[in-house]
Amino acid sequence: MIKYHTFTQCHLARKRGCKCPFQCVSRFPNHYIEHSSVLSDTSKQEMSHELTKPNMVWTTDLSNLVLAVDAITLIAGVPANLLALYTFIQKVKQRCTPIDVLLLSLTISDLIFLFFLPFRMKEAADMEWTLSYFLCPLSGFFFYTTIYNSTFHLTAISVERYLGVAFPIKYKLKRRPRYAVIACVMFWVVSMAHCSIVYIMQYYRHNNESFTDPSKKEVCYDGFSDEQLNTLLPVRLELFLVLFCTPFIICSFCYIKFIHILCHLPNIKPKKRFRAIGLALATLLVFIICFMPYNVSHVVGYIKWESPAWRVYALLPSTLNACLDPLVFYFSSSALRGTLKHLIQGSNKRRHPSGCRNFLNCPKLNCTAHEESTQSSNDTSH
């Protein structure tokens, strides 16, 4: 392949009838725009498309995979989070504690995520963005905001549990629900502020005429130019450090200390110890399975200074966060465990609405069996 080291060489090659190679466009994008008067409108559109060529290309297999993961998340996540929402609202009304405020805020975050998930499923089904364009940055903004909002809430829950066992007296005297409310508001504000980059990138315009109108893009939040990546990649690295790495380190420390203290305390019931271990494992699994792959792609993209094409696969596990968070709710809240137990008992009662529910302990059946046995023995004696 011939290498063109100057814009003039590239332009002369094009004038001779040679199709301008992509290396010219990528190497001298501003030159081409400055000399746009010598290029046809069609050529401008071709160069614009190559400058903002999407990294992700929809395929049938990718579409089916995204639809399957998102469908599982919706089917499992919606009822679980609605049940948690009802439970935590009732609990907050009766006797509000900091952990209840955190769990309620996290549940609302998951439900918002699930509300916008069908827009992503629609894009996967059509293999292009066919909805109104304003929904693209809107759904993307809440999609990423709720993901990173979850990391803050899970970390706050781990800190609350650690302080409760490490400094039980001091923490009990100083803990107030309003502190948890303030923390939740801060989590939402910080998450939204960082994820506003979605709106900035979607409507960021080049300083040239060949910029592709975002509303004409076939893929939502993809196909970034070099100028856009210069802004986006450092922000992604900041997301990794501030919204994932720091919360993950704090969360790991708190739960390791939490379990260590509980294991060395006397007179701790096995059930309580089991719930503590379950809470720690469920939270760390959410971080590792759901959040780590996508955030690692931020680091790889920053090192290579590009948006990796495999980011779409790394983002898939993040979707499962909305159906794995209820595990954290279960191990964190006795109120939710009580509600779930009540529902199971109610389901059993509806399954056996009348008569004896235990065949072996039914007095009527035992009495009837005794009478039949007596009658049979009498008949035999006669």
pLDDT (mean) for 329-334: 87
pLDDT given at position 270: 84
pLDDT (mean) for 135-143: 92
Predicted confidence band at 351 (pLDDT cuts at 50, 70, 90)?
A: low
Domain membership of residue 44 (yes or no) is no
Token pair, residue 197, equals: 């980059």
Residue 99 above 90 pLDDT? yes
Per-residue pLDDT reduced to its tens digit, 140-175: 999 999 999 999 999 999 999 999 999 988 888 888
pLDDT given at position 52: 46
| 98 neighbors 156 (Cβ within 8 angstroms) | no
| 67 neighbors 124 (Cβ within 8 angstroms) | yes
Domain membership of residue 274 (yes or no) is yes
Domain membership of residue 363 (yes or no) is no
pLDDT given at position 295: 95
pLDDT given at position 367: 46
Pairwise CA distance, residues 79 & 96, whole Å: 23
Domain membership of residue 348 (yes or no) is no
| 271 neighbors 249 (Cβ within 8 angstroms) | no
Domain membership of residue 239 (yes or no) is yes
- Summary mean pLDDT of the chain: 79
pLDDT given at position 173: 87
346 φ, ψ (degrees, to nearest 5) = -65, -35
Domain membership of residue 7 (yes or no) is no
Say which CATH number the domain at 130 has.
Answer: 1.20.1070.10
For the chain, what is the domain count?
A: 1
- Name which residue leads in pLDDT, 339 or 221: 339
Residue 233 above 90 pLDDT? yes
Closest CA to 191 of 77, 125, 131, 109: 109
Token pair, residue 230, equals: 């210069």
Pairwise CA distance, residues 171 & 98, whole Å: 11
**Per-residue buried b or exposed e for 166-184, using 16+ beta carbons within 10 Å of the residue's own CB:** eeeeeeeeeeebeebbebb
Domain membership of residue 170 (yes or no) is yes
Pairwise CA distance, residues 108 & 112, whole Å: 6
Domain membership of residue 373 (yes or no) is no
- Name which residue leads in pLDDT, 148 or 216: 148
Which residues span the domain enclosing 159?
60-206+213-338
Per-residue pLDDT reduced to its tens digit, 173-212: 888 999 999 999 999 999 999 999 888 887 765 444 444 4
